[in-house]
């Protein structure tokens, strides 16, 4: 995995415009999957995902070759994505009149499977909302997106061992919630 | 531990693929992809593509075919929209109407320095006038690069807007065009030139014309050459012949001196 990302940053360093589309295709599924859990709905998640890559583009554009080569690209992209999710959440809190569109209602042309999958998504979003911020970040980035703890540490600035215990506590909390739900 | 595995699996199942549209929008917002539409050009409809830096392509639709073909030929990703943004539309209409580039922005960022110089020089040729390939070569300081000028113009991404149809062979014949000689001729006709007369003059070996009252020689289509009355109009087979007669080169159309 690391070598793939190293190759990507090397290509970005020498041919930025040519390699940037590959950065988007490599990282967009992961970013979208995570952002879905940190925003209210699919539309917000799409907006934040787009905006993340536009910001990444603008920032990298100002970096010189050596700085791009030295980047841990995935954690760095996640730092930007997490910031945008936080900003979005703050705006929503300030403007509560913006209706919360539930995924179950948002789109009507879905197969039964999609409906079930999206319903599952919003149920989990509610459960995850019951965790502390750092716990939710660690659980989503590690268990949904598949980021190693070291990379989560890189994107949040918390130490690796702290991130590890955030994820463990978050998972324990979720387990308790599930038990309470079935009782 | 089994419950732990279950919860982890369930979390992993929350991963989703990013919707298709995200890539396109990011490419467009970062100006790595272009938008395009169809506009009326001087010789019929044309595809025109652009990004934030300016126009990236202008091609007669008949030379390309369907939208799919245009998209696959275009060097970057391109998506169809109804109309160019206002900031471009006004300048674009004006350029098509007047035959002058004016302040229409053209994105030449992915073009090499030599070709850019050739295209920029070409855009100085006013509508209704023509210059030989050698003129551009000389003007950009590479008098020997006549053939390379031809190649550079043949790869003009924005023909019509950058008027490579106004560049002709050194012997005065109209010569080749990326979209065929008939289109080159009809573009020149559209600007008030007579392709038959140009070819006839070339066949007679006329390169420049002078006025015996001013003692100045010009390319035949120079706006100053057009003012010379028939009685004072002297034809020359070469710039050297004109100079031998004591004529000097026009400072507007700048034939070889």
Closest CA to B128 of B163, B175, B180: B163
Rounded to whole angstroms, the Cα distance separating B114 from B148 reads: 9
pLDDT: which is higher, A17 or A168: A168
CB-CB under 8 Å, A32 with B16: yes
- pLDDT value at residue A97: 54
Residue contact B15–A50, C-beta within 8 A:
no
Q: Which residues of B touch A21 (CB under 8 A)?
A: 23, 27, 32
**H or E stretch including B56?**
strand B54-60
Min Cα separation B31/chain A (Å): 10
Closest approach of B38 to chain A, Cα-based (Å) = 26
What residue segments make up the domains of chain A, in order of their start?
1-109, 111-183
* Whole-angstrom Cα Rg for chain A: 18
pLDDT at A104: 46
Fold of the CATH domain A111-183: Arc Repressor Mutant, subunit A (1.10.10)
- More confident: B31 or B96: B96
Helix (H), strand (E) at residue B44: strand B44-51
Report pLDDT for B165.
Answer: 97
* Chain A touched by B229 (CB under 8 Å): no
* Residue A110's pLDDT band (cuts 50, 70, 90): low
**Which fold is adopted by the domain A1-109?**
Rna Polymerase Sigma Factor; Chain: A (1.10.1740)
* 3-state secondary structure (DSSP) of residue B236: strand
Query: Which residues of B are catalytically annotated?
Result: 164
The pLDDT > 90 percentage for chain A reads 68
Q: Do B15 and A33 touch (CB under 8 A)?
A: yes
Tell whether B1 is within 8 A of chain A (Cβ): no
pLDDT digits (tens, 9 = 90+) for B23-70: 888 988 888 888 999 999 998 999 999 988 899 999 999 989 999 999
For the cut 50, the answer to whether the pLDDT of residue A58 exceeds it is yes
**pTM of the complete model:** 0.66
State whether residue B109 sits within 8 Å of chain A by CB: no
Which residue is listed with tokens 């070569």? B137
- Residues of A with Cβ-Cβ distance to B12 under 8 angstroms: 143-144, 146
Residue A96 has pLDDT above 70, yes or no: no
The angle at the Cα of B38, spanning B33 to B41, to the nearest 5 degrees, equals 120
Q: Which two tokens stand for residue B68?
A: 């799919």
Which is nearest to A41 in space by CA: A84, A77, A87, A89? A89
Give the closest residue to A61 by CA, choosing from A96, A133, A12: A12
Q: How remote is the C-alpha of A139 from its chain's centroid?
A: 11
Round the average pLDDT of chain A to a whole number and report it: 88
CA B29/CA B190 separation, integer angstroms = 38
Question: When comparing pLDDT for A177 and B21, which is higher?
Answer: A177
Judging contacts by C-beta atoms under 8 Å, the chain B residues touching residue A57 are 26, 30
Structure tokens at A96: 């509560």
ipTM of the complex: 0.87
């Amino acid at each position: 995995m690391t070598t793939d990302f190293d190759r990507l940053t090397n290509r970005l360093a020498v041919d930025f415009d040519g390699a940037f589309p590959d950065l988007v295709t490599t990282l967009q599924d992961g970013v979208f999957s995570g952002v879905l859990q940190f925003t209210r709905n699919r539309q917000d998640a799409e907006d934040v995902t787009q905006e993340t890559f536009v910001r990444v583009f603008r920032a990298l554009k100002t970096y010189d070759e050596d700085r791009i080569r030295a980047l841990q690209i995935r954690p760095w992209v996640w730092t930007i994505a997490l910031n945008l999710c936080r900003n979005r959440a703050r705006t929503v809190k300030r403007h509560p009149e913006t209706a919360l569109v539930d995924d179950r209602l948002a789109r009507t042309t879905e197969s039964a499977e999609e409906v079930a999958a999206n319903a599952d998504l919003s149920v989990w979003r509610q459960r995850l909302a019951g965790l502390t911020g750092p716990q939710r970040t660690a659980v989503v980035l590690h268990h949904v997106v598949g980021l190693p703890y070291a990379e989560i540490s890189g994107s949040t600035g918390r130490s690796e061992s702290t991130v590890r215990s955030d994820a463990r506590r978050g998972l324990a909390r979720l387990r308790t919630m599930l038990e309470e739900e079935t009782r | 531990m089994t419950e732990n595995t279950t919860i982890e699996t369930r979390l992993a199942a929350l991963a989703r693929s990013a919707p298709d549209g995200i890539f396109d929008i990011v490419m467009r917002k970062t100006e790595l992809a272009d938008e395009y539409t169809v506009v009326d050009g001087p010789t019929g409809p044309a595809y025109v593509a652009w990004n934030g830096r300016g126009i990236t392509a202008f091609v007669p639709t008949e030379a390309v075919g369907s939208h799919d073909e245009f998209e696959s030929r275009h060097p970057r990703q391109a998506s169809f929209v109804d109309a160019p943004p206002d900031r471009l539309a006004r300048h674009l209409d004006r350029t098509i109407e007047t035959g002058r580039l004016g302040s229409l922005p053209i994105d030449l960022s992915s073009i090499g320095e030599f070709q850019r110089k050739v295209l920029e020089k070409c855009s100085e040729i006013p509508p209704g006038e023509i210059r030989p390939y050698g003129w551009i070569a000389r003007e950009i300081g590479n008098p020997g690069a006549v053939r390379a000028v031809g190649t550079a113009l043949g790869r003009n991404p924005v023909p019509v807007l950058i008027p490579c149809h106004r560049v002709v062979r050194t012997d005065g014949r109209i010569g080749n065009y990326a979209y065929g000689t008939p289109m080159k001729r009809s573009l020149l006709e559209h600007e008030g030139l007579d392709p038959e007369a140009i070819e006839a003059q070339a066949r007679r070996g006329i390169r420049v014309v002078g006025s015996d009252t001013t003692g100045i020689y010009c390319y035949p289509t120079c706006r100053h050459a057009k003012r010379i009355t028939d009685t004072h109009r002297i034809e020359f087979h070469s710039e050297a012949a004109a100079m031998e007669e004591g004529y000097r080169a026009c400072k507007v159309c700048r034939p070889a001196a």
